[in-house]
A and B are shown apart, each in its own frame.
Chain A
């Protein structure tokens, strides 16, 4: 039901962690950024970000703060915690290993 199109859950977590690792961002900005960076290839169903964000917050990977945006509206900004940074490294390493392996399989045939 709530699964983002073409994205497994673990991957979504990785994308979120990577996206907020540079600077605190609110939900919409995270969604936008994922789309932009991936050249609009990764079409995340925007709403499905929120369960993931809240779960990561509960797990202590990210923390949240309500602050004003440039337009003066209150928004919830997410940023990476130390735990989250470690988690990001682990997941990123996993991902690159997995993708390299898949590449190898796909290309050598």
Chain B
């Protein structure tokens, strides 16, 4: 009650100040009247009574003011007045306001965007129960060829870990797979991204089903009836969120699976591509699950409550080393890696995000420096006004407050615009960066708004404080005299601006270097020699369901028929099939031995990537035959045992001999022998990694039931997508085609983040360069205007014009030089930080550093040239008479 009354009173004083003042007048008038009446009744005459009353009362005007000061929020009223003053001052220079606001909007919008992403993706905990106890486990240090600390885990090693486990409450497997979903209920067949998991994965993460139930141990074994859990997104898209799908059976790769549950909306682990989950032991044979050399699983685990990460790491390493000593022949990791799950999720994007965050912070800082610079210039124009007001009794704080109000108004406008910009930028970024984990959880939240507010206010103060300080310096006389003197005016202010410019240029140089390095790295990536045709090649993924294509013959004859039909299509120049296309990753490898060589020492093995390909694949992809021959189309049965190897394989395993005619023995069933019949050129599995030794086996073996068509056409190859899909449907209508892409798209996909980072940072850098140039130009122009009189006198006394020109140029280039040197040093530091994002470029790339240096100096010269030229063409008589 009391609070409400007080609030009402305060609101009244805020909004009803005028009626309140009137009432105060009435109150005081009443008082005086009472006193006068009393005085009269005490016998005074009216005039004297009035004087006596006023004497007893004091000075009414002063007391009224004093009373008003006690009114609540009178300070707010003053603030409103300041804001009003500031707004009026700003409106007088609309161009300045628009430019400054836009610059700030960009800075604040960009930083808020990156902050939102970093905050949600990197800093907020995973949406699982007790996420701090969740870890990710990897095998590490497999062999010379696979030295990575993060190698996927084999089923056998996982078994070992589970049996000897001491530090984890439980462990769960995740495997990647894909499947054909048969057409049902009028919907088309579809190639799905599926994930295999051990039954305890969801319970370990603490996930409750949105609908239905999760896997049980009974589902997760060989011979169990098929069960599947759908992700929310897939359920929503394919089945229109119809709950009756739970309990029904769907056909995956021709086999029946009962849908038992739907995952919650927010569950988008490990990625958004995953659509269906199935239990791993139902899918993978027991022997594969026990094989220590077949690496294919991701392993997550939950630490026991009292166990630390370091402890778990040393425990797991102990187990791994013991197992490795026990089975020295197995191709397994010599060590193990344990990292927290949250760390693991962001491992790939962390550097990139922090790098972008750093870049946008630079942009915001540059924007602030620039706007501050503009404010100082404005302040200079109003210095006499300030001095005059100071002389009339305005306190310094009062004058500064007004200046700060101006800068805060500008940054607030920028901040408001920036929030809209953030909204747009976030959507764009999420669409563009497919590698971001948890994309659907990224949105503007309170944290973003809070950040934007803090960024706005702090940049407002940053922009305003320095100008305010320099504009309200209490050297009244000096300031008032300044205009009447011709020489050396506003030296102090110019120094401040030059320091700001130096920083601005330094930051710009850092951004330019970062952007340049990334761009060069990207172009190196793009020009990486794939070793195959990249233009005019169409690819599409096909996955033969195991249930329908059981025997090698079935697979081989399907591919033979399909390729035969595709090749008859008009405008197909060449068509082939391969299990894994160049640029689509390492995917799979196999150990082998070479017939006739002495047996290897224990723990050593030969290993190379394997691909299945048909004879025409090399032709379709333009992979050159270096020696020997391709497969021939006659090799249609498993009896023919030819293998084609890549050049790097020949170099690695047959350094001083002729590989042709040598025999490779694979550890497949029956230990088949393969004769090396040809050597082909290297192709890159990953755009950013060197070619890996590869063996190509004939598709006609019937061993491979998955892969991609590769088609080259004499015309626009994308026009072939539809006719080829029709051919496939004519052979098997249930077969879905996935990833219809050109080779350019496949390569573009793997370089898209590099391109994104490079272009974004370069765009920032160029923007900063423009801002810095404008800043330099502004400061020099101001300086020249200030010194017109001085130059006039110099010229009148006989100074040559080129001397004046040089004077101004040197003056303008000093901040540029210093900034450049600082920036180059900073750039070298920044380059070290982003080194992991650089491909084929040394962090201290001389050409980039010199290039950036030259550009900066050139731009600085351009920015200084006009003011310098103006200074040197002053008419001395006019200049001196100007005052």
A-side interface residues toward B, CB under 8 Å? Answer: 1-2, 26-28, 31, 45-48, 50-51, 53-55, 57-60, 63, 66, 73-76, 81-83
Contact = CB atoms under 8 A, between A and B. Distances in A.
Contact of B27 (A60, A75, A81): A75
B30 A26 contact: yes
A66 B30 CA distance: 12
Nearest to B60: A47
Contact of B66 (A46, A51, A57): A51
B35 A28 contact: yes
Given A74-B26, A75-B30, A50 B63 contact: yes
B235 to A, nearest CB: 59
Contacts of A58: 6, 9-10, 13, 70-72
B63 A47 contact: yes
B27 A50 contact: yes
Interface in B1-54: 2-3, 5-6, 9-10, 13, 23-24, 26-28, 30-31, 33-35
Main secondary structure of the interface of A (DSSP, over half): helix
A42 to B, nearest CB: 13
B66 A45 contact: no
Contacts of A73: 30, 33
Given A45-B58, A50-B66, 20 more contacts: A2-B66, A26-B27, A26-B31, A28-B30, A46-B56, A47-B60, A48-B58, A50-B28, A51-B63, A53-B67, A54-B71, A55-B70, A58-B9, A58-B70, A59-B6, A60-B5, A60-B6, A63-B5, A81-B2, A81-B5
12 contacts: A2-B66, A27-B27, A28-B30, A28-B31, A46-B31, A47-B28, A50-B63, A51-B66, A51-B70, A55-B70, A58-B71, A60-B2
A91 B201 CA distance: 68
Given A57-B9, A63-B5, A73-B30, A47 B72 contact: no
Contacts, number: 81
B57 interface: yes
A55 B71 CA distance: 7
Interface residues of B, number: 31
B58 A47 contact: yes
A14 B35 CA distance: 23
Contacts of A55: 70
A42 B26 CA distance: 26
B35 to A, nearest CB: 6
Q: Top 9 nearest A-B pairs by Cβ distance?
A: A47-B58, A55-B70, A47-B63, A28-B34, A47-B57, A51-B66, A60-B6, A28-B31, A54-B70
A48 B70 CA distance: 12
A66 B31 CA distance: 14
A7 to B, nearest CB: 13
B634 interface: no
**B3, B23, B31, B66, most chain A CB atoms within 10 A:** B31
A76 B232 CA distance: 68
A102 to B, nearest CB: 28
A76 B33 CA distance: 14
Contacts of B69: 51
B93 interface: no
A47 B9 contact: no
Nearest to A55: B70
A36 B34 CA distance: 16
Nearest to B69: A51
Interface in B621-652: none
B484 interface: no
Contacts of B71: 54, 58
B35 A2 contact: no
B187 interface: no
**A2, A81, A82, most chain B CB atoms within 10 A:** A2
Contacts of A51: 63, 66-67, 69-70
A11 B631 CA distance: 109
A2 B2 contact: no
Nearest to A1: B62
Contacts of B2: 60, 81-83
Given A28-B31, A82-B2, A47 B70 contact: no
